[in-house]
A and B are shown apart, each in its own frame.
Chain A
Amino acid sequence: MYVELQNINKAFGDVHAARNVGFGIVRGVLAALLGPSGSGKTTILRMIAGLERPDSGDIFIDGARVNDVDPGRRGIGFVFQNYALFRYMTVFDNIAFGLIVQKEPAETVRSRVFELLALIGMEGMEKRYPAQLSGGQKQRVAFARALAPNPKLLLLDEPFAAIDAKVRKELRVWLRDMIHRLDVTGIFVTHDQEDAVETADEIIVTNNGRIEQKGSPQMLYKAPATPFVTSFIGNSAPLENYKRLKGFENGSGAATGVVRPEFVKIYPAVDGITYENSVEDAVVEDTAFRGTHWEVTLKIKNMTLPARYSLEKAPIAAGDRVKAFVYRLYAFDGDNVTLLENRNLDTHNGANRYSI
């Protein structure tokens, strides 16, 4: 483990920002701390940086305990949420700052700054001031400034929060590439699951000061460990009593759970359905065009379920009566989550193989 946190606790008055937090991150990985605001993710990042001091627990970087090491000596690059670029310094001076502080010779500073300018694709802009840069450029400069002293660990606080949607997509890819190319370990904080899923190798989901789950984006999506992660990652809708749905009558424990839209298949009334007993009668409540598909809200037995519907099929509209088959859903039992498959799945698939 390159970065490791053990039993970290931290409270601000009555607010617990971290309760028994522990996790490790392997060298060279870009990890995301993902959670709603107030979940403690930023505090965890700031503790790793040394900007906050944990009430208890240990932080290790590269095998050494750093609790008592000054933030300036932890060998960390930090990118602030609003970049905190020095407004009265040029791009060049901003990037050079960390090197000058470490008393690098002027020639080294110069060549390193130009190397970084090339890396972030901003050659020729070294004389500009932060006020003359766009949001994306500011972020790149902040990134270069943090990287200039060659840190082995880069921490980023909400790196995409201040950037508009279009540039954001580009920057995610760019950041991911940079981290991997430079052999740096990176941790960033975000409240936006898209940021985390599209950028990170590994996601640590935080909630209420606790770590809910740690794993790859795919794993969090496919095998969420807690009800919170299930609801937080991906699209989902809560079900108050899934046992009322056909094929799930025998589920164990409490009857609450969530269903994702991709788990529900709609059969418009015109399609012939062979195995009628496995499908539900549903009413279309609402449809929304999403470019590549329809997003449909269904009412089944007084429960609201989301579904996706292909553009190729016969159009449906609010008020239509349709049939729906629920392939699977996540059932909650206390803190545990189980993926339940529809009991009639095999029969259903066999019977309807050819019905579109």
Chain B
Amino acid sequence: MKRHSAKRIIPGFGISLGLTTSFVSMIVLIPMLFLAVQSTDAGWSGFRQALSDPRILAGYEVSFLCSFAAAGVNCVFGLILAWVLTRYRFPGRRLIDGLIELPFALPTAVAGIALTALYSDKGWIGSAFAAMGIKIAYTRAGIIIAMTFITLPFIVRTIQPVLEQLDGAYEEAGRMLGASRGRIFRKIILPELTPAVLTGFGLAFARALGEYGSVVFIAGNMPFKTEIAPLLIMSKLEQFSYDESAAIALVMLVVSFTVMFGINCVQSGAASFSKG
């Protein structure tokens, strides 16, 4: 190998890189390889199974639709929250700002049972809806609510810094030119926020897709109706059908990585755009 041209004058290269690669290999690389080997071990039949069994397909459908809906709900409310937190000063602002990260800090199982208690037919909110004949817990609506809870910080926290950096002068310039507030928001602010919203949406979607703890309690887990893909992995495991669970896992991993890759593209695109 050619000797590196830049001299490494800062000490600690060998040891830090050595430790890092061994950590990464032990904790990430080797386990991931194991999964890949295991899921392809069964050959195509395992995959065909994972992609054709109607119950598994229904599981994907529930996971994808609900994750999409939850990320969508959060785009709207996340945008409002980020806006309110960066642009307005009002009593309790700091408290709300601090609470945004609660879903990161609160154990998902706790969130799961709390939401179930809240939205079941006897719960504070659930009973009100039950009176109108709407069931929330143990339906897809419940899944969406749990996913919304768990992914709320992702969108707020990706939009917030962008809004903070967005120069007020932009808006003032727009106002000087006689643009209305709605127009300023649509034409000046929203385009600036689009990459952040997309990134937040992607992160939230990926997280919701993999979420297990907060969802299983409120979902009811009825096959074909409210059974999410991660739960399928779990139950296949409990039946000791490792190949199938590995195949389902691989399909989900491919989706997650695609989403992550998309996020990277959006971000590098946005970076080069704002530089150029």
Majority DSSP secondary structure for residues of B touching A: loop
Q: Decide if A52 is an interface residue (CB 8 Å cutoff).
A: yes
Number of chain B residues close to chain A: CB under 8 A: 5
The reply to whether B9 and A50 form a contact with Cβ atoms under 8 Å apart is yes
Q: Decide if B132 is an interface residue (CB 8 Å cutoff).
A: no
The reply to whether A71 and B5 form a contact with Cβ atoms under 8 Å apart is no
Q: Decide if B6 is an interface residue (CB 8 Å cutoff).
A: yes
Q: Decide if B94 is an interface residue (CB 8 Å cutoff).
A: no
Q: Decide if B275 is an interface residue (CB 8 Å cutoff).
A: no
Q: Decide if A88 is an interface residue (CB 8 Å cutoff).
A: no
Q: Which residues of B contact A53 (CB under 8 A)?
A: 3, 5, 7
B residues 1-60 with Cβ under 8 Å of A? Answer: 3, 5-7, 9
Who on chain B is nearest to A53 by CB? B7
Majority DSSP secondary structure for residues of A touching B: mixed
The reply to whether A50 and B5 form a contact with Cβ atoms under 8 Å apart is no
Cα distance A51–B6 in the bound complex, in angstroms: 8
Contact with B6, one of A52, A71, A72 (Cβ below 8 angstroms): A52
Contact with B7, one of A11, A12, A52 (Cβ below 8 angstroms): A52
Q: Which residues of B contact A55 (CB under 8 A)?
A: 5
Q: Nearest chain A CB to B160's CB is how many angstroms away?
A: 26
Q: Which residues of A contact B3 (CB under 8 A)?
A: 53
The reply to whether B5 and A12 form a contact with Cβ atoms under 8 Å apart is yes
The reply to whether A51 and B9 form a contact with Cβ atoms under 8 Å apart is yes
The reply to whether B5 and A51 form a contact with Cβ atoms under 8 Å apart is no
Q: Which residues of A contact B5 (CB under 8 A)?
A: 11-12, 52-53, 55
Q: Nearest chain B CB to A296's CB is how many angstroms away?
A: 41
Cα distance A52–B5 in the bound complex, in angstroms: 7
Q: Nearest chain B CB to A66's CB is how many angstroms away?
A: 13
Cα distance A50–B3 in the bound complex, in angstroms: 16
- Contact mask A47-62 → B, CB, 8 Å, 1/0? 0001111010000000
Q: Which residues of A contact B7 (CB under 8 A)?
A: 50-53, 71
Q: Nearest chain A CB to B244's CB is how many angstroms away?
A: 50
Cα distance A50–B9 in the bound complex, in angstroms: 8
Q: Which residues of B contact A51 (CB under 8 A)?
A: 7, 9
Cα distance A55–B6 in the bound complex, in angstroms: 11
Who on chain B is nearest to A12 by CB? B5
Cα distance A12–B5 in the bound complex, in angstroms: 7
Q: Nearest chain B CB to A238's CB is how many angstroms away?
A: 33
* 7 closest A-B pairs by CB: A53-B7, A71-B9, A51-B9, A52-B7, A12-B5, A51-B7, A52-B6
A-B contact pairs, 16 of them (CB 8 A): A11-B5, A12-B5, A50-B7, A50-B9, A51-B7, A51-B9, A52-B5, A52-B6, A52-B7, A53-B3, A53-B5, A53-B7, A55-B5, A71-B7, A71-B9, A72-B9
Report which A residues bind B (CB closer than 8 A): 11-12, 50-53, 55, 71-72
> Told that A53-B3, A53-B5 touch, could you supply 9 new A-B pairs with CB distance under 8 A?
A11-B5, A50-B7, A51-B9, A52-B5, A52-B7, A53-B7, A71-B7, A71-B9, A72-B9
